[in-house]
Amino acid sequence: MSYVQGFLVAVPKAKKQAYIQSAQAAVPIFQEYGALRVVETWSETITDGKVTDFKMAVKATPDEAVVFSWIEWPDQQTYEAAHARMQTDARWQNMPEMPFDGKRMVWGGFEPIFDTQSEPWAGAGFSSST
């Protein structure tokens, strides 16, 4: 099953287009290293939590949107090899300046436990038939 690298970041709303352009510039590099899918989403509706929520997780201010994104890799080994190679890839030096405060980014790697687009989860107590 695939491996997902997920990200949350607060981006100034005024820099939405700059964020989109920088994300689009990175996609071919991720794909070259084996990424199957790159998804970038811009917050529209985020409920305020009492203990935590997406905005609190990245300390978003009222003039910032939360970006929730993920990169799908064939497996964790492909991601780890890509991550190691990307550390020395000179193309990252030519990327536009990131339009957000990277210190407030939250990220992590995840193993999917089921995916409705493929059915390996059917053996885990779920069934696609009724």
CATH number at residue 54: 3.30.70.100
| 26 within a domain of the structure (yes/no) | yes
Identity at 108, one-letter amino acid code: G
The number of beta carbons lying within 10 Å of the beta carbon of residue 118 is 11
Could you tell me what percent of the chain has a pLDDT over 90? Answer: 71
| 58 within a domain of the structure (yes/no) | yes
C-alpha–C-alpha distance, residues 108 and 116, integer Å: 22
- Domain with 33, as residue range(s), is 3-65+89-113
Across 105-120, average pLDDT:
83
Tally of domains within the chain: 1
Q: Report which of 10, 29, 16 is spatially closest to residue 95, judged by C-alpha positions.
A: 29
| 84 within a domain of the structure (yes/no) | no
User: Is it the case that residue 121 has pLDDT exceeding 50?
Assistant: no
| 34 within a domain of the structure (yes/no) | yes
Q: What is the pLDDT of residues 14-39, one digit of tens each?
A: 999 999 999 999 999 999 999 999 99
The two structure tokens encoding residue 30:
């991720």
pTM of the model: 0.83
Q: What is the pLDDT of residues 55-87, one digit of tens each?
A: 999 999 999 999 999 999 999 999 999 999 988
